[in-house]
Structure 1
Amino acid sequence: MNHGGSLVDPSFELLDPTPDIHALFMQFDGLFFGGALACCEVKWSPRMYTCAGICSYEIRGGRGGLCSIRLSKPLLTLRPRKDLVETLLHEMIHAFLFVKERNRDRDGHGPQFQAHMHRINAAGGTNITIYHSFHDEVRLFKQHWWRCTGPCKERRPFFGYVKRSSNRAPGKNDRWWSQHQATCGGHFEKKFPIPRPGSCSSSRLLSTTLKPSTSSVPEIIYLSDDDDDVPAEDNRYDSDDELELSLVLSPTTVICPSCNMEVIETEIHEHLDSCLA
């Protein structure tokens, strides 16, 4: 291995700033996993705004099935090449534990994961960690802001704001909605349709009253008055949990990265909304 034995040598940022993830995957599979991940796929996901990477493994009839790694194109294309490499390796460790060892440890980052993490860090000069920390990029994609017109707009620490990456108004499908209706009762007005990076349109105040969303897809959201999604002084919240992968144990269940409970995959965002609240 050239460049002092490091996979993340700073020179790579200029020599190969946008590497082919499939070529990286095959290289790392040979270097660190003995070719055990040949049955896995890796691909970009254009719509993952709060999760840097996810590794899923479908179990069919007690036998192995499809293993898939998805990487967030919106988040990782804004980051240095080093972060892409370390995120990919992070997910490949999970894939290896599934494929080779059928690891179903409820703690997705337990001793086995950490042993491989330290092994690869030592050999590859990387700094793979348990959690990803791409908070600035996550905030960048929180383009859609609403604010409540009721009493909660005067309450700390959130002052009635909801910030989301999708244009979905707060409504009854949010886990906190019934409590909000009982304690506040206000309605939400759209405030800022912040444009995506590269857009030439300017931000402007809409002040348009929106009807509650009827979408069946819940999302991790926080009521916040800060640029951060979560108040830094409140240690009950950990933004890393938003960015960490959900570990798929079957076609229908995943491990919550915050409390390590198995949750139905389609309900993981709603569960996290409650778990982190």
Structure 2
Amino acid sequence: MPLTDEDAAALAMRALDALSPDQRVARSAIARMLDPDAASPSVDIHELFALFDTLYFRATLRARVDLSWSSRLTLCAGICELVKDAQGKYTRIRLKLSEPLLQFRPRSDTVNTLLHEAIHAYFFVTSSWRHSRDDDDTSGHGAGFQMLASAINAHGGFDVAVFHTFHDEVDSYRTHVWLCDGPCRASPPYFGLVKRSMNRAPGRSDSWWSQHQRDCGGAFAKIAEPDLTKKQVDALSAQERAGRQKNKIDRWIKVAPSSIGPSQGETFSNPDGRGSSAKRERSDEESIPAAQQKKTLLACPICDVPVTEESVNDHLDAVHGTG
């Protein structure tokens, strides 16, 4: 029968009471790697993981854990999960560290995150799937996790915490933003905003959706998204590119309101003599003399005052002294 997290933690902690020769070698190597005066601010996570395995986890991890950096993990600093092997059994463990969140943070954050996820991996090895479903904490951070994390912190001077989400960094990658038009936009803490790192609109797949529909009932509209990558821009058609231009000429053109409105249902004579009493709504071109038709206005490029196309040069000369 698999061990409980508490039992597995106790075994690992007892192994720290009297270090074996291999553990002492690993401890010395870790100290050299993490020397504050070391020239490199980065760390080889694979080498460090192997040393941590020897020192703290009874050398149980390296045969079953696949460790890697992830460029797509942006919601938390690290993740550890059970995955299927070639026979379809959950015997492999995948441990990933977030490259976007950790690459510009102090080296200690990478080290503490690696240890945090290694503790999860150790419990997956010893407790199997029961680790993520323990009775007192379904997130896997129950009594066993806290016991072993505290022992490792005390032994090596680390700072392994239950949570390692870096809020500012995480938020900077949540560039797809939706805003609700319902009452919840006036309520803290979210004020109707949903921010995500991927382009997935709020909907029924969200656990909170049904409650939102009951309590608010508003609709979400997207208000922000990241710029397209160069590869995405290159894949656009010419028409799609034109639609994304921000300096289109119609932003500078305004249409003057007409002072003469058409009257509805006016009777007129058909020039060809057929149906002289026929009725239809007259068009502006038919009803307004050429001198009274709408004139196109331009916004002055200097003061933004609307002027007609014919008088823009006179306006520039008279008001701004150009010419």
- Displacement of 1:29: 1.4
- Structure 2: how far apart are the matches of 1:127 and 1:156? 32
Aligned to 1:272: none
Q: How does 1:167-206 map to 2 (within 5 A)?
A: 167-194=199-226
- Displacement of 1:42: 0.7
Which residue of 165, 174, 181 maps to 2:197?
165
- Structure 2: how far apart are the matches of 1:103 and 1:114? 18
- Structure 2: how far apart are the matches of 1:117 and 1:127? 9
- Structure 2: how far apart are the matches of 1:25 and 1:70? 12
Q: Which runs of 5+ in 2 are unaligned?
A: 1-26, 229-245, 247-323
Compute the TM-score of the two structures, normalised by the length of structure 2.
0.52
Which residue of 58, 78, 95 maps to 2:104?
78
- Structure 1: how far apart are the matches of 2:189 and 2:57? 46
Aligned to 1:275: none
Paired amino acid for 2:108 = K
- Structure 2: how far apart are the matches of 1:92 and 1:3? 18
Paired amino acid for 1:170 = P
Aligned to 1:248: none
Paired amino acid for 2:41 = P
- Displacement of 1:44: 1.6
Higher alpha-carbon Rg: 2
- Displacement of 1:31: 2.3
Q: Which runs of 4+ in 1 moved over 6 A?
A: none
Structure whose residues are more often helix by fraction: 2
Which residue of 88, 91, 108 maps to 2:114?
88
- Structure 1: how far apart are the matches of 2:168 and 2:49? 26
- Displacement of 1:143: 1.0
Compute the TM-score of the two structures, normalised by the length of structure 1.
0.59
Q: How does 1:225-264 map to 2 (within 5 A)?
A: none
- Structure 2: how far apart are the matches of 1:121 and 1:26? 18
- Structure 1: how far apart are the matches of 2:48 and 2:29? 16
- Displacement of 1:194: 4.7
- Displacement of 1:137: 1.0
- Structure 2: how far apart are the matches of 1:112 and 1:65? 21
Aligned to 2:186: 154
Q: Deviations over 1:59-78 (max 9, x none)?
A: 789x8711221112221223
Q: Answer yes or no: is the 8 Å Cα contact 2:30–2:48 preserved in 1.
A: no
- Structure 2: how far apart are the matches of 1:109 and 1:31? 21
Aligned to 1:104: 130
CA change 1:68–1:155 in 2 (3 A) is: closer
- Displacement of 1:118: 2.5
Q: Deviations over 1:22-50 (max 9, x none)?
A: 11211211222232212121112222211
**How many residues were matched structurally?**
196
Aligned to 1:267: none
Structure of greater relative contact order (alpha carbons < 8 Å, 6+ residues apart): 1
Q: Deviations over 1:136-169 (max 9, x none)?
A: 1111111111112234333444332211111222
- Structure 1: how far apart are the matches of 2:94 and 2:220? 38
Aligned to 2:253: none
Tell which deviates more after alignment, 108-117 or 66-75.
108-117
Q: Which runs of 5+ in 1 are unaligned?
A: 197-205, 207-277
Tell me if 1:43 matches 2:68: yes
- Displacement of 1:90: 1.1
Which residue of 81, 102, 109 maps to 1:56?
81
SS at match of 2:68: strand
Q: Answer yes or no: is the 8 Å Cα contact 1:8–1:125 preserved in 2.
A: no
- Displacement of 1:101: 5.2
Tell me if 1:34 matches 2:66: no
Paired amino acid for 2:53 = D
- Structure 2: how far apart are the matches of 1:123 and 1:11? 21
